[in-house]
Amino acid sequence: MHETAIPELCFRRASKESEPTHTLNLPSLYVIFQGSKTATLGGESFRFDPGTYLVASVHLPAIGKIIHASPQMPYLSLGITLRPEVILDLNKKTSLQKRGETGRGIMVNSSPPPFLDAVLRLVNLLDTPTDIEVLAPLIIREIFYRVMQGEQGHLIRQFAVIGSYSQGISNVIHLINRDYSQLLIIEELAKQVNMSPTSLHKHFKRVTGMSPLQYQKIIRLQSARRLMLTEGLDAATAGFRVGYESPSQFNREYSRLFGRPPMRDINHMRDSLFEL
């Protein structure tokens, strides 16, 4: 991942296909210029290639895999961070504020010429750094306006409609990510967003493809993996840090998600990074 002078914009390049990679996708837009990638969420797979873009509207624990890349034809993509305040403001200024049905928090759409033109103008700003502070926010705003006007734009607008179930689920996702190491009590969580436990379960699964407890478990395990990789914690300490009281349960659930016991997985990841 290569950061740029535009804080919201980053690039990625890969010269080979990747293993399935567990990530917590921040609310972002992704555009591929060369190669192909899949993102799997709750058992549902989304493929995007040149000519399409992917938007993750909320924090989603997905499995990404680069499926087409080589030294001769490397995978090339960019990501643009989605800022909720931009979507809220754009939604207020359009006539498309219907509550509608709750839908997935991830979508793949075709890239129309006006959208690609705005993306290219944003990238070209890197050649004129003095223009970035003034023009980048305007172009990013235009890009997300184009997304919201697209054929699946309702899947991003849903989180900006005040009082909608989707906005409530967005708040729940924020609370789980903030307090993932704490015991999750659905009834209390539902009260905080003015939903019934049944309604919370139903709409949470529509957005994320999983239950709140499943979501929390993945966030915990991904966080423990990060702690072991970056801070050198042992498995028991990392598991305790993210909320597990039983080391055996942590090891079992970690192996089920990532395919290897904790320390073997971390060693494999370090070896893979060394090879790069």
Q: What's the whole-model pTM score? A: 0.88
Q: Quote the CA–CA distance of 272 and 74 in Å, as a whole number.
A: 18
According to the model, what pLDDT value does residue 156 have?
A: 86
CATH class of 2-158: mainly beta
- Choose among 209, 245, 241, 234: nearest CA to 62: 209
Q: How far is CA 53 from the centre of its chain?
A: 13
User: Angle at the Cα of 18 (from 45 to 180), degrees rounded to 5?
Assistant: 65
Question: Tokens representing 217?
Answer: 């478990």
Q: Contact 21/71 with Cβ under 8 angstroms? A: no
Angle, vertex CA 41, rays to CA 38 and CA 80, nearest 5: 65
pLDDT tens sequence for the chain (276 residues): 899 999 999 999 999 999 899 998 889 999 999 999 999 998 899 999 998 999 999 999 999 999 999 999 999 999 999 988 888 888 887 765 555 578 889 999 999 999 999 999 999 999 999 999 999 999 999 999 999 988 888 888 888 877 788 889 999 999 999 999 999 999 999 999 999 999 999 999 999 999 999 999 999 999 999 999 999 999 999 999 999 999 999 999 999 999 999 999 999 988 876 554
13-27 per-position pLDDT tens digit? 999 999 899 998 889
The backbone torsions φ and ψ at residue 107, rounded to the nearest 5 degrees and listed phi first, read -150, 155
Q: What amino acid is encoded at 82 in this protein?
A: L
> Looking at the DSSP assignment, which residues form a beta bridge with residue 99?
none
CATH 1.20.1250 fits 161-214, yes or no: no
Report the alpha-carbon distance of residue 31 to residue 111 in Å, rounded. 9
Q: What is the largest CA-CA distance in the chain?
A: 55
